[in-house]
Amino acid sequence: MKYSFALLTLFILVVSGCSQDEDSPIEVALYNTTNDRVGSATFVEGNNEVKVNIKLEGLEPGFHGIHMHESPLCEGPDFKSAGNHFNPTGKEHGLMHPDGAHLGDFVNIEVDPAGTVETELVLSDVTLLDGDKSLLREEGTSIIVHEKEDDGISQPSGDAGDRIVCGVLSKTKEDESDNATDPTEFNEEKE
């Protein structure tokens, strides 16, 4: 009897653990304004946070603002279809704002002189699970990289300039556009 109870308990723990992590990790393809695939963002559920591993190439060197936006749309060339920043708590924009920040505000990313960046970012107090603060609530969200650095305080988006890279985070598998190109697909052959 004790053996059966122990097996049942173990089974329940394994099944419940799997159901929580079924939406994690999620890899999102990132596209520039001319619909070239320029990288990826991998979202991983954490303890009261979501870790986001960013890999990008083909960007101007320097700092760039990066945010989660409220709509799962990436219609180029301006990506305005992504809507405003993800902000279910109604705060002001900016990690340095006294009445901020949006839940979708990341720290800036730094692109190296070769035009690439590979880094891990963290969004606190959000989830990939169900709830008001879920990045997958309703239809999902999008991740946007801006042309300039986010100053951390200016409203509504940190004076970060145009939206230059976009990717859709959604529970449904994103169909990669037939017109999208991958400017890196032949890199290994050329090296």
Report yes or no on 13 lying in a domain.
no
Which pLDDT band holds residue 12 (cuts at 50, 70, 90)? very low
What is the β-pairing status of strands 141-146 and 66-69? antiparallel
What b/e sequence results for 31-45 when a residue is b if at least 16 CB atoms lie within 10 Å of its CB, and e otherwise? bbbeeebbbebebbb
Per-residue model confidence (pLDDT) at position 161: 87
- pLDDT tens digits, 109-152: 999 999 999 999 999 999 999 988 999 988 999 999 999 998 88
Give the Cα separation of 70 and 88 in Å (integer).
9
Report yes or no on 62 lying in a domain.
yes
- pLDDT tens digits, 55-77: 999 999 999 999 999 999 999 89
What is the total count of domains within the chain?
A: 1
Inter-residue contact 94 to 87 (CB < 8 Å):
no
Report yes or no on 183 lying in a domain.
no
Give the Cα separation of 39 and 109 in Å (integer).
14
Domain that holds residue 57: 23-172
The domain spanning residue 39 has which CATH number? 2.60.40.200
Sign of the CA dihedral running 77, 78, 80, 86: positive
